[in-house]
Structure 1
Amino acid sequence: TNSRMEVRISEIKSSITSMDKKMEAFTKRLDEAEHRIGNTEDSVHGLETMVQQLQEAVVKLQEKADDLENRSRRCNLRLVGLPEDEEDRDPVSFLESWLPSFLNLLELANNLEVERAHQAFLPRIRNTDKPRMLLFKLLRYRDKEVILRQARKLGALTFNNKPVYIFPDMSADLFQKRKSFFGVKRLCKDLDIPFALLFPARLRIDFQGQYVYIFKSTNNISDFILLSPPPSSYLHVTY
């Protein structure tokens, strides 16, 4: 009986030893796994930081590219509503003589220089009299500002009994940013609140000629105008 018990105890000890070895191996593998997981987490954190930095760099590059694009268009204007073929295949000469007369700008008569002009690169719409937009670049930035200022001063422009519009040329991204202020501008107009859309895309709102607010986005502007009385503690605020 004792021998059997000794054999049994020996078997149990052997099993325990085997389990200890397996547990030791498992613990070693677990430590290695935890180490690899820790390294992976560090790598992931580093990659996340790098991705965030790259995303910020992309945004800055996009903003820089958009700014450069708009700077390259700073002397450009868009003419909308002019009947096609009115320029008789020579839009540059046509604009140089027609614009000063059309806008009653005597100082630009015989002095306006257009570098180039062309129709928008869009297919001509059939069965419609809607003309394509005419894009043109002026030699002098000052002339562009004079034309825009005079167009705003004259108000609604017509040519051959059809409306004509003159706009500054800009990138698609900047156009969408400025367009986002349309509803707020209409609200200001309805409430008789003076406003101005500043370049590139900022809205200036004047309250009672004393309080000036400049908004860079449309977030909550309508609520601000309708619900917030102008504060008395400051005169100029940028949002």
Structure 2
Amino acid sequence: MRRQRNRTQMSEMEDIELKTTLLRSLKNCLEAADKLSKALEKTGETADKCSEILKKSDETLDVMIKNQLEIKRTLTEIKNIIQTPNSRPEEHKNQVKDSKHKEAKNTQLEKQNEKRIQKYEDSVRSLWDSFKRTNIRIIGVPEDEREQDIENLFEEIMTENFPHLVKEIDLQVQEAQRTPNKRNPKRTTPRHIIIKMPRAKDKERILKAARERNPVTYKGIPIRLSADFSTETLQARREWQEIFKVMITKNLQPRLLYPAKLSFRTEGQIKSFTDKEKLKEFITTKPVLYEMLKGIL
């Protein structure tokens, strides 16, 4: 009985060991199957990537083939141009010639337009100067807070400086005003006075007397009388002022002729110049004048 019991126990232990071995083997098989599945999955991904790479390679190859065809086509065109005798160069020459002709024509039109504009501006300036031909511009008269009537002020200036003309000329004034009309707080010098005379002849007599008297004064203060011109003419005349002052000190008898021509006497002759460039060319041949004006021109 005892021996039979032992045999039974041994048989049960062998069954357990067998089952354990079988379970272990099954587990290993499952793990191997799982690894194989993952390996197959990665293999599939790799295959997909390889497929994409091959597809891109095909596209790149197509682009390269197209580029090579385009290059061959371009080279063929260049070869044809080179082999065609004188056709392209002649066409290029004609294009250059036409371009130069158009450029010359445009330049000529620009010059013509500039001349037209200058002529128009000169006409407007001349018309405006003609409108002002009877005006006298008085410069340097101080401004008072309660300024008296400007017509009476002009009469005072005439009486103080030219009493003989007061008796000979009718001092009837058509218009008298400060210019500009509004006071500029930033202005450091008094505004000019514009006197409109009834006759240009009277204006010329007054200005001639002012040049001969020099200086003209108002209550002992030096002032200046001059002709009134358009803004453009005044600006052109101002450009001569520095040279004009130097020539006065050297007794060259300078004068400003209308509209802005500088005239002076040198070596017994009267010379006139419309712009500084012409004067500069002239003084290069006159050492005395050159030394006199070299720091100004």
TM-score, normalization by structure 1: 0.68
Q: 1:193 aligns with which of 252, 269, 292?
A: 252
Cα distance in structure 1, aligned partners of 2:285 and 2:182 = 43
Q: What percent of counterpart residues are identical?
A: 21
The one of 139, 163, 177 equivalent to 2:236 is: 177
Match of 1:217 among 275, 278, 296: 275
Counterpart residue type for residue 287 of structure 2: L
Match of 1:226 in 2: 287
Q: Does 1:150 align with 2:179?
A: no
What is the rounded CA distance, in whole Å, between the counterparts of 2:265 and 2:122 in structure 1? 28
Gaps of 5+ in 1: 1-14, 230-239
Q: Would you say the 8 A contact 2:157–2:218 is kept in 1?
A: no
Paired residue type of 1:114: V
Deviations 1:29-66 (A, max 9, x none): 88777666654543333222211211121122222222
- Amino acid across the alignment from 2:102: S
Q: Give the Cα separation in 2 of the matches to 1:43 and 1:127.
A: 52
- Cα distance, 1:71 vs structure 2: 1.7
Q: 1:104 aligns with which of 162, 183, 189?
A: 162
CA distance in structure 2 between the partners assigned to 1:211 and 1:129 by the alignment: 41
Residue 225 of structure 1 deviates from its aligned partner by 4.5
The 2-side partners of 1:195 and 1:143 are apart by 23
The answer to whether the aligner puts 1:77 opposite 2:77 as a matched pair is no
1:41–1:226 distance in 2 versus 1, CA, 3 Å: closer
Give deviations 1:71-119, integer Å, cap 9, x for gaps.
Answer: 221111111222335753x43x425643431332444447222111211
Please state whether the residue corresponding to 1:124 is helix, strand or coil: coil
Q: Secondary structure at the match of 1:170?
A: coil
Task: Establish whether residue 51 from structure 1 lines up as the match of residue 81 from structure 2.
Answer: no
User: Over the residues paired in the alignment, what is the CA RMSD in angstroms?
Assistant: 3.7
Aligned 8 A contact 1:76 1:168 in 2? yes
Q: Is the 8 A contact 2:161 2:217 kept in 1?
A: no
Greater helix percent: which structure? 2
Query: Residue in 2 aligned with 1:116?
Result: 175
- Cα distance between partner residues in 2 of 1:52 and 1:129: 42
| Greater RCO, CA 8 A, separation 6+ | 1
Report which of the two has the higher share of strand.
Answer: 1
Q: Distance in 1 between matches of 2:287 and 2:235?
A: 24
Q: Select 1:132's aligned residue among 185, 191, 202.
A: 191
For 1:42, what is the secondary structure of its paired residue? Answer: helix
Query: Could you tell me how far apart the structure 2 residues matched to 1:34 and 1:222 are?
Result: 48
Unpaired runs of at least 5, structure 2: 1-71, 291-297
**Which secondary structure does the structure 1 equivalent of 2:252 belong to?**
coil
Question: Secondary structure at 1:114's aligned position in 2?
Answer: coil
What one-letter code is carried by the residue in structure 2 that aligns with 1:94? N
Q: Which residue of 2 aligns with 1:160?
A: 219
When Rg is computed on C-alpha atoms for both structures, the one with the higher figure is: 2
Structure 1 pair 182–82 and aligned structure 2 pair: CA distance change class (3 A): closer
Distance 1:127 1:23 in 2: 76
